[in-house]
Homo-oligomer: A and B are copies of this chain.
Amino acid sequence: MELGLKIWVSSKSGDDIMGTGRWSLLKAINEEGSLMAASLKLGVSYRKAWGLIRKAEEDMGFQLVRKVRGGSKGGETTLTEEGKSLIKAYEVFYMQVSRDAEKAFRKFKGELKRK
């Protein structure tokens, strides 16, 4: 048996605020320093990636990325301090829930075997 687990954060009205998709995109931007490189890495279009970021910023209520036009790479996108804090905090949150769930799941399997 395998544990299935899906974790996300939504607004009170049910809209997605943060989940694996947005987190992966922000993390890729942080690593690549470019939205184009990040979208290529994740296999989504630049347009879609940009839309996801705009929506995430709108939902979070603060800026997540900063665009720097020009420069040696011809246009960079970096995370703001708030963006960096968000992916770090989400990662800690996600890992904690995953670890706790795996622990509870081992206990559950143990309970079943005992019968």
Residues of B within 8 A of A85 (CB): 111-112, 115
Q: Is A45 part of the binding interface, using a Cβ–Cβ cutoff of 8 Å?
A: no
How long is the Cα–Cα vector from A103 to B93 in the complex, in angstroms? Answer: 10
Residues of B within 8 A of A93 (CB): 104-105, 107-108, 111
Q: Are B5 and A7 in contact (CB under 8 A)?
A: yes
A residues in contact (CB < 8 Å) with B: 1-12, 14, 16-17, 19, 81-82, 85-86, 89-90, 92-93, 96-97, 100-101, 104-105, 107-108, 111-112, 115
Please name the residue on chain B nearest to A59 by beta carbon. Answer: B1
Residues of B within 8 A of A6 (CB): 4-7
Within the complex, which residue of B10, B92, B104, B111 is in contact with A97, where a contact is CB–CB below 8 Å? B104
Q: Are A101 and B97 in contact (CB under 8 A)?
A: yes
Within the complex, which residue of B4, B8, B9, B14 is in contact with A9, where a contact is CB–CB below 8 Å? B4
